[in-house]
């Protein structure tokens, strides 16, 4: 409740809150106190509009184009693609060779705000990213696996999901995975994306699939954890980082 | 587009729901549902045949509020909807309770309550008068709201213990 009124909650949490309020007398009483205090404040009506809007409209992540060169830079860094874990959800009907290269992501932190970042601005993400940073990505899709579509998102410890690719800025839409080539070369995605990440653990997911998926079905699948991704054929790559203030 | 509609119609829709539902949580839950449906239902969006968007959404909110009240048995007399209760003004009641509660606080925090919730100043204005950083007032308010909530819950508990019927 405090998080909702102080602007710290997410769209999903706010939706759960309004659903929960209908059946919980204790929370209704707490809400009443906060709401009436808010109505006494000078800008109470505006604050109410803003906080309730958060439960309706996902905050649009900031997306900026990264200067070319990420893929070239990481082409020399095979290490980049050895980090993270690939979950062995082999496409149905195919036997996976354990030594074959697997689809993977490279994650880059883009610390600069405002100006269009160049490759020199970026840093390979280690174990920690900061709330003020944008994230940029490269991917590799080995021909032996040959995934055709990619989604990149992150899920934090509270279950909040942050979409990087495809972009999802309008809750009434249901965008689909990006089509990707399978040539084995590192390929950079052109935009760095900054979300309002919450401090704590964050798992970044690359979902490589033979067919396009949509954000709604993926969000539903991961509502109770990333194990839900096993419902989809393809390969799941993950890396967990710590988000610091 | 829908965000713009939300921005311009929010107050009217909230007021419409509030004429039926006086409990802030119920009123805001209905307002939330109205806009959520507007976002997700093309059928609803296409059913708007022109005219003031705020009035149209306000009518929907009022209708949903009445449904909600019937469903949840939150109103015993639906004919009393729109009648302004002369007996009780919850905001005035809260102000009185605030003043009583503030007497337990130290003088600076008492002054904060006075400036923010009785005189209706912004945090910036109150910070300037108190000579404190706005972030300090933010912290104080956060602590104060939690303490007030506990105080009100305690009072209600005491009232219930004194023989009032406890709602099930």
Whether A70 and A41 share a structural domain: no
Examine residue B116 and state whether it is found in any structural domain, yes or no: yes
Whether A33 and A67 share a structural domain: no
Chain B residues whose CB is inside 8 A of the A40 CB are 91, 94-95, 98, 116-118, 120
Chain B residues whose CB is inside 8 A of the A35 CB are 24-25, 28
For A41, the closest of B23, B40, B120 (CB atoms) is: B120
The pLDDT mean for chain A works out to 77
Distance in angstroms (rounded) separating the CA atoms of residues A161 and A16: 15
Count of domains for chain A: 2
Whether A157 and A73 share a structural domain: yes
Return the pLDDT at B31.
94
Whether B103 and B66 share a structural domain: no
Query: Of B50, B80, B110, which closes a domain?
Result: B80
B91 touches chain A (CB under 8 A): yes
Higher-confidence position of B2 and A81: B2
User: What are the two backbone dihedrals, phi and then psi, of residue A156, each rounded to the nearest 5 degrees?
Assistant: -95, 180
Examine residue B167 and state whether it is found in any structural domain, yes or no: no
Examine residue B59 and state whether it is found in any structural domain, yes or no: yes
Whether A165 and A181 share a structural domain: yes
Instruction: Name residue, tokens 């690359």.
Output: A206
Whether B65 and B98 share a structural domain: no
Return the pLDDT at B94.
80
Distance in angstroms (rounded) separating the CA atoms of residues B34 and B55: 13
In this complex, do B24 and A15 lie within 8 Å of one another by their Cβ atoms?
no
Q: What is the mean pLDDT of residues A6-29?
A: 83
Chain A residues whose CB is inside 8 A of the B2 CB are 57, 172
DSSP string, A7-54: T---HHHHHHHHHHHTT-HHHHHHHHHHHHHHHHSTTHHHHHHHHHHH
For A29, the closest of B39, B122, B153 (CB atoms) is: B153
Span B38-51, pLDDT tens digits: 988 888 888 888 88
Q: What is the mean pLDDT of residues A41-57?
A: 83
Kindly identify which residue of chain A lies nearest to residue B94, measuring between CA atoms: A36
Whether B128 and B151 share a structural domain: yes
Whether B101 and B59 share a structural domain: no
Distance in angstroms (rounded) separating the CA atoms of residues A10 and A168: 15
Query: Of B55, B80, B105, which closes a domain?
Result: B80
Whether B66 and B107 share a structural domain: no
In this complex, do B148 and A33 lie within 8 Å of one another by their Cβ atoms?
yes
Q: What is the mean pLDDT of residues A82-111?
A: 58
Higher-confidence position of B10 and B89: B10
Q: What is the mean pLDDT of residues A38-67?
A: 76
Chain B residues whose CB is inside 8 A of the A55 CB are 32
Whether A87 and A109 share a structural domain: yes
Higher-confidence position of A91 and A7: A7
Suggest the residue from B1, B9, B17, B28 to mutate for an interface test with chain A (most A CBs closer than 10 A): B28
Kindly identify which residue of chain B lies nearest to residue A60, measuring between CA atoms: B3
| CATH code, A156 | 2.60.40.1930
Examine residue B156 and state whether it is found in any structural domain, yes or no: yes
For A212, counting Cβ atoms within 10 Å of its Cβ (0-12 exposed, 13-18 middle, 19+ buried), the class is middle
Domain that holds residue A147: 62-244
B153 touches chain A (CB under 8 A): yes
Query: Of B31, B55, B80, which closes a domain?
Result: B80
Whether A158 and A66 share a structural domain: yes
Q: What is the mean pLDDT of residues A90-97?
A: 40
Centre a 10 Å sphere on the Cβ of residue A245 and count the other Cβ atoms it contains: 8
Sequence-distant (6+) residues with CB within 8 A of B95 are A40, B117, B118
| Nearest CA among A49, A26, A28, A54 for reference residue A39 | A49
Whether A6 and A102 share a structural domain: no
Sequence-distant (6+) residues with CB within 8 A of A121 are A67, A110, A111, A112
Q: What is the mean pLDDT of residues A70-76?
A: 46
Q: Which of A116-125, B104-113, B119-128 has the lowest mean pLDDT?
A: A116-125
Whether A115 and A192 share a structural domain: yes
Count of domains for chain B: 2
Query: pLDDT at residue A173 above 60?
Result: yes
Suggest the residue from A24, A37, A48 to mutate for an interface test with chain B (most B CBs closer than 10 A): A37
Examine residue B51 and state whether it is found in any structural domain, yes or no: yes
Query: pLDDT at residue A86 above 70?
Result: no
pTM: 0.52
ipTM of the complex: 0.74
Whether B67 and B128 share a structural domain: no
Examine residue B168 and state whether it is found in any structural domain, yes or no: no
**Residues in chain B, how many?**
168
Domain that holds residue B25: 2-80
Examine residue B104 and state whether it is found in any structural domain, yes or no: yes
Whether B39 and B73 share a structural domain: yes
Whether A46 and A95 share a structural domain: no
Tokens of A228: 């839900």
| CATH code, B10 | 1.10.1740
Return the pLDDT at B163.
42
B9 touches chain A (CB under 8 A): no
In this complex, do B36 and A45 lie within 8 Å of one another by their Cβ atoms?
no
Whether B117 and B145 share a structural domain: yes
Return the pLDDT at B111.
92
Query: DSSP H helical segments within A22-158, as ranges?
Result: 25-40, 44-54, 70-75, 78-82
The pLDDT mean for chain B works out to 80
- Gap from B48 CA to chain A (nearest CA, Å): 18
Whether A180 and A74 share a structural domain: yes
Query: pLDDT at residue B13 above 70?
Result: yes
Whether A25 and A71 share a structural domain: no
Return the pLDDT at B62.
93
């Amino acid at each position: 409740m405090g998080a909702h009124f102080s602007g710290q909650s997410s769209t999903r949490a706010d939706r759960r809150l309004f659903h929960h309020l209908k059946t919980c007398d204790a929370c209704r009483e707490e809400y009443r106190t906060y709401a009436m205090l808010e109505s006494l404040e000078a800008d109470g009506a505006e604050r109410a509009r803003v906080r309730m809007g958060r439960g309706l409209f996902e905050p649009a992540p900031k997306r900026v184009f990264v200067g070319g060169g990420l893929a070239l830079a990481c082409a020399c860094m095979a290490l980049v693609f050895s980090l993270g874990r690939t979950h062995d959800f082999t496409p149905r009907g195919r036997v996976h060779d354990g030594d074959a290269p697997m689809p993977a992501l490279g994650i880059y932190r883009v610390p600069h705000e405002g100006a269009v970042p160049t490759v020199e601005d970026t840093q390979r993400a280690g174990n920690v990213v900061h709330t003020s940073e944008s994230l940029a990505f490269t991917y590799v899709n080995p021909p032996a696996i040959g995934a055709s579509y990619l989604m990149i998102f992150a899920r934090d410890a509270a279950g909040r999901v942050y979409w990087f690719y495809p972009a999802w800025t309008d809750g009434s839409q249901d965008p689909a995975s990006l089509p990707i080539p399978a040539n084995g070369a590192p390929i950079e995605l052109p935009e760095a994306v900054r979300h309002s990440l919450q401090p704590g653990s964050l798992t970044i997911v690359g979902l490589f699939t033979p067919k396009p998926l949509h954000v709604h079905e993926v969000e539903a699948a991961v509502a109770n954890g990333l194990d839900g991704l096993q419902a989809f054929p393809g390969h799941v790559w993950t890396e967990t980082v710590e988000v610091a203030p | 587009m829908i965000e713009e509609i939300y921005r311009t119609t929010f107050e009217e829709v909230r007021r419409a729901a509030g004429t039926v539902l006086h409990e802030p949580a119920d009123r805001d839950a209905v307002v939330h549902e109205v806009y959520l449906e507007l976002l997700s239902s093309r059928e609803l969006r296409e059913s708007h045949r022109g005219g003031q968007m705020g009035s149209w959404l306000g009518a929907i909110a009022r209708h949903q509020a009445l449904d909600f009240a019937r469903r949840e048995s939150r109103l015993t007399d639906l004919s009393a909807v729109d009648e302004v209760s002369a007996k009780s003004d919850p905001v005035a009641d809260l102000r009185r309770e605030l003043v009583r509660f503030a007497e337990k606080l130290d003088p600076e925090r008492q002054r904060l309550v006075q400036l923010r919730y009785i005189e209706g100043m912004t945090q910036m204005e109150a910070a300037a008068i108190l000579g404190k950083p706005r972030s300090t007032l933010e912290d104080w308010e956060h602590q104060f709201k939690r303490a007030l909530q506990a105080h009100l819950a305690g009072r209600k508990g005491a009232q219930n213990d004194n023989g009032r019927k406890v709602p099930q």
